[in-house]
Amino acid sequence: KAGVTQTPRYLIKTRGQQVTLSCSPISGHRSVSWYQQTPGQGLQFLFEYFSETQRNKGNFPGRFSGRQFSNSRSEMNVSTLELGDSALYLCASSLGDYPPPRGTQYFGPGTRLLVL
């Protein structure tokens, strides 16, 4: 079974631009979560999508948004990029059936975003 895939793997943007990252979950997984990883803040939860609905949200500004499609693929968008948005963005998928069990999350390789 194929794992979680993320595209692109690397991105370089400038301040003020926007960016869209993509995540394809493991086949059959309906929950997709996004995390931001930085040396200073570690791994921080952005949001979780399940059946095309945002089910859970971390403490990030509204510039960070996401969506999920009917095939469970998810995209994350960051608008008006700031230097501090430079990070590794990780996507994780799980079965995530509602009500949520303690689903094991499987991570993709991440998208490394550099904002100049």
What residue ranges bind other proteins (CB under 8 A)?
Answer: 4, 31, 33, 35, 42-43, 45, 48, 50, 55-56, 58, 90, 92, 94, 96, 99-110, 112
Minimum distance of other proteins from residue 110's CB (angstroms):
5
Minimum distance of other proteins from residue 34's CB (angstroms):
11
**Is the separation of the CB atoms in 76 and 69 below 8 Å?**
no
**Is the separation of the CB atoms in 111 and 88 below 8 Å?**
yes
Q: How many CA atoms lie within 13 A of 3 on its CB side?
A: 10
- Conformational region of residue 52, where left means phi above 0, alpha means psi within -120 to 50, and beta covers everything else: left
Nearer to other proteins, 50 or 64 (CB): 50
Minimum distance of other proteins from residue 100's CB (angstroms):
5
